[in-house]
Amino acid sequence: MRLNTSCPNCDKSISTISYVKTKSEFVKKTGEEIEMFCEKCKTKSMVSTTSLHAVRSAAMNITIVLLVLVVIGLSFFMIKFTLAVESEYNVPYAALAMPVLGSIGLIWFMIADRKKINAFNEN
Ligand SMILES: [Zn+2]
Distance 7 CA to ligand 1 centre (A): 5
45 has a pLDDT exceeding 70: yes
pLDDT attached to residue 116: 92
- Check if the beta carbon of residue 47 is closer than 8 Å to that of residue 27: no
Distance in Å, CA 61 to ligand 1 centroid: 25
Gap between the Cα atoms of 113 and 105, Å rounded: 12
pTM given for the model: 0.74
Q: How far apart are the CA of 96 and the centre of ligand 1, in A?
A: 50
CA-based torsion, 99, 75, 56, 20: positive or negative: positive
DSSP structure string for 79-118: HHHHHHS--SS-HHHHHHHHHHHHHHHHHHHHHHHHHHHH
Using the predicted structure, report yes or no on whether residue 31 has a pLDDT greater than 70: yes
